[in-house]
Structure 1
Amino acid sequence: MKTLIRTAAAAALLAAVTACTSAPEGRPALPKVDLGAVRLVSYSGCDELLTGLREHAAENTGPWGFGNAPIMYTMEARSDARAEAKSTTSTPEHSTTNVHEAGVDEPDLVKTDGNRVLTVAGGTLRVIDTASRKVTGSLKLTKDGEATFVPADLLVSGDRALVMFRGGGDVMVKSFAPLGDTRYVLVDLAGEPKVLATVKPQGTYVDARMVGSTVRLVTRAQPDITLPQPGPDDTEAKRTSANRAAVRKAPLSAWLPTVEITDASGRTRKDTMKCERVSHPADYTGTSLLAVHTIDLARGLDAAGTDPIGVAADGDTVYGTGTSLYVSSNPRWWWPMPIEDAVAPADEPTPPEPAPGEPDPVEPDPSAKPSLSEEPVPSPTPPAEETEIHRFDISKPGAPAYVASGKVPGRLLNQYALSEYDGHLRVATTLASADGKDSSSSVYVLKSDSLAKVGEVGGLGRGERIYSVRFAGPVGYCVTFRQVDPLYTLDLRDPAAPKVTGELKITGYSAYLHPVGEGRLIGIGQEASAKGRTLGTQVSLFDVSDPAAPRRLAQMFQKDSGSEAEWDPHAFLYWPKTGLAVLPMYAWGANGDEVGAVALRVSESGIERLGMIKHPRRAQEGGVYQPGIQRSMVIGDEIWTLSYDGIQVNDLATLKSKAWIPLT
């Protein structure tokens, strides 16, 4: 009997232990991170690829599978900024998905072109006509008996939609990427929706970006290797040796990801990534592989299929511009695992004391090689807390081209911690001390063509971590928090000498920052007590026109509440024409729960609460259910809001409900 390679679960979380530099008295030292090159090198052929992957993967295999200790990873919240829509004579003026970079679309739960709204609920794609407010087309994308609650995102270009089913979820670790059933479904929207092609890549969907009609999708996969079932009395050393032996015998097909493509007629073909299209950094684990697939929605799939390229690396955060695609990998969180059994198995008898007059037993020669039957398990070496970044050129049609790799100390919050501007990439990270009791944040400036560091500014929020970042041209904003919220303003005009120009300390924090006009910034997060206890959702309006003296002009506070926009900016809507801001809200308290979306009007000097949009309640077992609103859109003179149950249309001026379109 055999089992797939897996990592064990762990109960306690410890901070990474790394080599430390000296620190001021009374403070733990922050670790020093080697920023050596992370160059990617293409394999010359399949033999070199297989040899390298086998050996690196074996080195990172322990008694429980990949990794010498159980490890876990957190995902950042995916985030974006705004892209204003241009009205035409035939299309109502409308908002679009809140994206990070203008002109670079991001997958989301719902899409609109003004004339129609598209969303996937319960495994079914629905097309809604905005004029009649009726469902004009639907397409079931799940099979009978298949789970319909699997999350799905959308990208739309003209009369083509790409539906992305996430499959195995978002969890990822640096030396282990989980298997997942990921599907990308290309749909023709001209007339009744119909499937043009289904793409099933091996691995788990990470994220995607679309420029024009071309989509680049990032997936990650672990090697498909089975391990021998351990015996009840096997020591960790014995299990490690058996596991590594299995890894060293694994065929090339265990690593090279495949992609299965089914066309509209039902014909299926399976392609395997070519060896020469796989690259690797100088230091890599061999236990996961990133693939970047390309699909042009306008052209569909041709003989090249998705034309994937691969990197023997990990990735969890995707950031894109019109010409660049960045994939970064955060450091893992580490639980050192007791390995006494692996070094000196507990089930082995203790040697007896020598009898009087007998010589002491001979100690084993430490230089002697271990038996091949029990390869020793090395002590777990905590990884350096650093973030690797890989850049790909997407300026030309077809598959991306690898450009460069680099790394910076610390951990990214999300894609907003990355920003390309004027030939440079700005990166904001938080670096923790070895014992986890201290931390500090920095902004690094890298050359975009080589990802070599040219400048940095550090010392932000000592003892705190980053809660939000926003770059706007040559200016940056960074929020750190533990008990109070320092909002830092950064001058990035000189890449070699970035500097902090101002700081504002207030209670609470902003988890998402959004520009709302010249010299104005909205922050969405939590208010907090002087001791750092969160109290409820707050929306702040900041005046950042003077970088040396940022100040808060106004605040909206809702006690005992939370908002999805705090961790997913796709949920935030800002309509510049009227200053309308809409965000989901869930409030609780003595007067009961209040679930819906709060509408605000933001001016140059204040925030006005306009009201709350709520979807119809419905009965369910045990009581009444109030659907939570996930997204908001402006279409013409109406606000369209989406929940899992349906879509509601409200008047833009009065917030009065005008129509309800059920989806379940």
Structure 2
Amino acid sequence: MKTLIRTAVTAAALAAVTAACTASTGGPSNPPKPVKANPVRLVAYSSCDDLLGGLREQAAKNVGPYGFGNVIPIMAMEDGQAKARSDTASAPEHSTTNVHEAGVDEPDLVKTDGNRIITVTDGTLRIIDTATRKITSSLKLTEGDQRVPGLPADLLVSGDRALVLMRGGDIMYKTRGPVADTRYVVVDLAGQPKVLSTIRPAGSYVDARMVGSTVRLVTRSQPDITFPELRQDASEAERTKENEAAVRRAPVDAWLPATEITDAAGKVTKDTVKCDRVSHPADYTGTSLLTVHTIDLAQGVTAAGTDPISLAADGDVVHGTGQSLYVASNPRWWFPVRPLPIEEPAPSSSAVAPAVEPTPSDPVPTPTVPPEETEVHRFDIASAGAPTYVASGKVPGRLLNQYSLSEHEGHLRVATTLNSADGKTSSSAVYVLNADSMAKVGEVGGLGEGERIYSVRFIGAVGYCVTFKQVDPLYTLDLRDPAAPRVTGELKITGYSAYLHPGAEGRLIGIGQEASDKGRTLGTQVSLFDVSDPAAPRRLSQMFQKDAGSEAEWDPHAFLYWPKSGLSVIPLSKQNESGALVLKIDDSGVRELGMIKHPTQKGDYPYQPGIQRSMVIGDSLWTLSYEGVQVNDATTLASQSWIPLR
């Protein structure tokens, strides 16, 4: 049977992590044991019968007395051609979303083309005209008359088309079945905004990337299997056997991800991923599927729908370039859980319910600790239409985030931290994989023994890695020879950088926390590093805000850096103060310019909104909070306008 997913076999298994060679202060003496990384091979199913048999068999092996897994994982959270705006050429100079790769847009809670600001709050899309500084139109995207406070939504915009990514229904603990209400809404922004189509995919939204006007969306789903009701008188072995039987009875549709598309006229079209569009690795659990959807905003949703392809794997980290889409599955954190009995008498007001004790026939589950290794799948997205699967690889350890991945000149660099089985020791490494085969080409290990990675940045053939426990070693890496990457320099300072951003030539900006020499965090810090000499990185300047935190430490989209003037902005929160800290970062140092605050919201409990995003548009600095948008002079920081969103 013909399939759009091209299979490939990875080369030899990745080698084990090398012993630590660059120790950091305070690190343990025993490095983690090496983990052998097995090759990964995705194979397309030959038929629906083949697919069903394979998924049933693998899922049955991974079901327990309480569903999938004996322990509970903690989850880290009318169509036509789009019209280009006639006034785009006259748009004022403006900043855009801070993204990992140039030319690859990432979803965020606000977008601007210089003439408009588009954002979604409480389930309502709003468009602000930057010339009049007024909301010119809005569109309610939720059902019913009530707003939905705090409903998470991100945006991607191309011309007069927006894609609103609405995430709902995700839960932290889940073993018995899929729960999600993910919606992708295509909106026409020309004139009064209107919904063109609504896509409801099976599963939960993972992430998306847009190149040109084409969006690739990744969702994750679990098989929709109804397990028998838990019987209090049954042992765990009996429950497991009953659940295995339920898995083996499940039809193929329980696994195949379905998609429901509603057009502007209300017509609903349902589609299911075809069996020949599903692939699987040689080793898989059958309990999770990743699906990649494709939407070209220039065309809208056509008769082909979202042209989905799926693979029987898990994933939670997405990295995109102009040619490739990478989906990586981090190992989960696990802990044993013992559910309460099915029927438990309600305690009286004066009594405390007794603790539930295990019985010999129903012992507490033994914790299962999966090996710490990360699978990475690469898809070719250079052509229109559905992506083409290229290859997969596996490396020891876990990723920090998408910045732990970087493609450069035909190779993928992957930075991970590997913890020992007992969790008492750790070490980090950077692996170089051939992007075509995902086979390992080289590696450099021994980074931050006893510590973990706090930030990574790859800039061309150079890499920067920050590990931390008590002090912050900033490592510089020479990656020019993929087969022999090496550490060229190391800088030990207190605190750490949680996000690294390229500055001017030979400069690197770090945002994170200052810390005592014992490793106790003290408050937000912004550092400027001189990395012009890879053998001797040094810190030129530091700005420190005691007892403060910034969203930019964990979400790079919150950081604004305007190279033209060195203007930089980060959200900042203190115990009694919230706002946006405005800085000037040039070749010589970091200087504080001032603090922008949004109006205090009155009521029974007055509060000051926390600023989430900042944008430069012309000569003004625009800041966004949950309550509204404020405009300040980019030079003097004088307040100019306030635009409430609620």
2:393 counterpart residue number: 406
In 2 relative to 1, CA 23–93 (structure 1 residues): closer, same or farther, beyond 3 Å? Answer: closer
1:658 counterpart residue number: 640
Q: Does 1:61 align with 2:48?
A: no
1:38-68 deviation digits (Å, cap 9, x = unpaired): 1100000100000010111110000111012
Give 1:29 shift: 4.8
2:304 counterpart residue number: 304
Does the 8 A contact of 2:88 with 2:115 survive in 1?
Answer: no
Q: Does 1:619 align with 2:602?
A: yes
- Show the 5 A alignment for 1:46-57: 46-57=48-59
Give 1:170 shift: 7.8
Give 1:178 shift: 4.8
In 2 relative to 1, CA 172–37 (structure 1 residues): closer, same or farther, beyond 3 Å? Answer: farther
- SS across alignment from 1:228: coil
How far apart, in 2, do the equivalents of 1:533 and 1:381 lie? 32
> Aligned match of 2:526 in 512, 524, 539?
539
Give 1:531 shift: 0.3
How far apart, in 1, do the equivalents of 2:155 and 2:558 lie? 15
In 2 relative to 1, CA 22–578 (structure 1 residues): closer, same or farther, beyond 3 Å? Answer: closer
1:234-267 deviation digits (Å, cap 9, x = unpaired): 1101111111111110011110010000000000
> Aligned match of 2:441 in 417, 442, 454?
454
1:636 counterpart residue number: 618
Q: Partner amino acid for 1:230? A: L
How far apart, in 1, do the equivalents of 2:629 and 2:147 lie? 24
Does the 8 A contact of 1:28 with 1:433 survive in 2?
Answer: no
Does the 8 A contact of 1:390 with 1:405 survive in 2?
Answer: yes
Does the 8 A contact of 2:571 with 2:579 survive in 1?
Answer: yes
Q: Partner amino acid for 1:147? A: V
How far apart, in 2, do the equivalents of 1:62 and 1:377 lie? 13
In 2 relative to 1, CA 481–278 (structure 1 residues): closer, same or farther, beyond 3 Å? Answer: same
In 2 relative to 1, CA 273–146 (structure 1 residues): closer, same or farther, beyond 3 Å? Answer: farther
Q: Partner amino acid for 1:263? A: D
- Show the 5 A alignment for 1:28-177: 28-74=30-76, 90-144=90-144, 145=146, 147-169=148-170
How far apart, in 2, do the equivalents of 1:408 and 1:566 lie? 26
Give 1:72 shift: 2.2
In 2 relative to 1, CA 520–277 (structure 1 residues): closer, same or farther, beyond 3 Å? Answer: same
> Aligned match of 2:539 in 539, 548, 552?
552
How far apart, in 2, do the equivalents of 1:21 and 1:602 lie? 38
- Show the 5 A alignment for 1:472-483: 472-483=459-470
How far apart, in 2, do the equivalents of 1:338 and 1:272 lie? 36
Does the 8 A contact of 1:292 with 1:309 survive in 2?
Answer: yes
Q: Partner amino acid for 2:279? A: S
Does the 8 A contact of 1:172 with 1:178 survive in 2?
Answer: no
How far apart, in 2, do the equivalents of 1:125 and 1:378 lie? 47
Does the 8 A contact of 2:119 with 2:126 survive in 1?
Answer: yes
Does the 8 A contact of 1:29 with 1:434 survive in 2?
Answer: no
1:206-230 deviation digits (Å, cap 9, x = unpaired): 0000000000000001111111112
2:264 counterpart residue number: 264
In 2 relative to 1, CA 21–572 (structure 1 residues): closer, same or farther, beyond 3 Å? Answer: closer
Does the 8 A contact of 1:185 with 1:197 survive in 2?
Answer: yes
In 2 relative to 1, CA 542–20 (structure 1 residues): closer, same or farther, beyond 3 Å? Answer: closer
- SS across alignment from 2:557: helix
Q: Does 1:510 align with 2:515?
A: no
- SS across alignment from 1:618: coil
Give 1:88 shift: 7.2
In 2 relative to 1, CA 38–379 (structure 1 residues): closer, same or farther, beyond 3 Å? Answer: farther
- SS across alignment from 2:90: coil
1:178-199 deviation digits (Å, cap 9, x = unpaired): 5210000000011100000000
How far apart, in 2, do the equivalents of 1:435 and 1:488 lie? 26
How far apart, in 1, do the equivalents of 2:369 and 2:176 lie? 15
Does the 8 A contact of 2:477 with 2:488 survive in 1?
Answer: yes
1:553-605 deviation digits (Å, cap 9, x = unpaired): 000000010000000000000000100000000123xxxx1210000001111
In 2 relative to 1, CA 146–235 (structure 1 residues): closer, same or farther, beyond 3 Å? Answer: farther
Q: Partner amino acid for 2:90? A: S
- SS across alignment from 2:522: strand
Structure 1: any 5+ residue segments left out of the alignment?
1-18, 76-86, 340-344, 349-373
Does the 8 A contact of 1:431 with 1:440 survive in 2?
Answer: yes
Q: Does 1:598 align with 2:581?
A: yes
2:347 counterpart residue number: none
Give 1:31 shift: 2.9
Does the 8 A contact of 1:67 with 1:176 survive in 2?
Answer: no
Q: Does 1:467 align with 2:454?
A: yes
Does the 8 A contact of 1:486 with 1:505 survive in 2?
Answer: yes
- SS across alignment from 2:253: helix
How far apart, in 1, do the equivalents of 2:119 and 2:528 lie? 32
Q: Partner amino acid for 2:308? A: P
- SS across alignment from 2:379: strand
Q: Partner amino acid for 2:125? A: L
1:609 counterpart residue number: 592
Q: Which has the higher mean CA deviation after the structures are superposed, 376-385 or 459-468?
A: 376-385
Does the 8 A contact of 1:168 with 1:178 survive in 2?
Answer: no
Q: Does 1:252 align with 2:252?
A: yes
1:435 counterpart residue number: 422
1:363 counterpart residue number: none
1:202 counterpart residue number: 202
Give 1:122 shift: 1.3
Q: Partner amino acid for 2:494? A: T
Q: Partner amino acid for 2:525? A: Q
Give 1:71 shift: 2.8
1:537-560 deviation digits (Å, cap 9, x = unpaired): 000000000000000000000001
How far apart, in 1, do the equivalents of 2:299 and 2:457 lie? 35
Give 1:381 shift: 4.8
Give 1:423 shift: 0.4
Q: Partner amino acid for 1:299? A: Q
2:243 counterpart residue number: 243
1:450-506 deviation digits (Å, cap 9, x = unpaired): 110000000000000000000000000000000000000000000000000000000
Does the 8 A contact of 1:177 with 1:288 survive in 2?
Answer: no
- SS across alignment from 2:602: strand
1:129-183 deviation digits (Å, cap 9, x = unpaired): 100001111100011257342100000000000000012348599x888521000
In 2 relative to 1, CA 466–21 (structure 1 residues): closer, same or farther, beyond 3 Å? Answer: closer
Give 1:517 shift: 1.1
How far apart, in 2, do the equivalents of 1:586 and 1:302 lie? 45
Does the 8 A contact of 2:336 with 2:365 survive in 1?
Answer: no
How far apart, in 1, do the equivalents of 2:176 and 2:459 lie? 35
Q: Partner amino acid for 2:592? A: R
In 2 relative to 1, CA 378–602 (structure 1 residues): closer, same or farther, beyond 3 Å? Answer: closer
2:82 counterpart residue number: none
1:354 counterpart residue number: none
Q: Partner amino acid for 1:415? A: Q
How far apart, in 2, do the equivalents of 1:417 and 1:311 lie? 23
Give 1:37 shift: 1.1
Q: Partner amino acid for 2:641? A: A
1:332 counterpart residue number: 332
Root mean square deviation, CA, Å:
2.4
How far apart, in 2, do the equivalents of 1:525 and 1:22 lie? 28
How far apart, in 1, do the equivalents of 2:448 and 2:31 lie? 15
Give 1:23 shift: 9.8
1:281-309 deviation digits (Å, cap 9, x = unpaired): 01111001000000000001111100000
How far apart, in 2, do the equivalents of 1:297 and 1:644 lie? 27
- SS across alignment from 1:284: coil
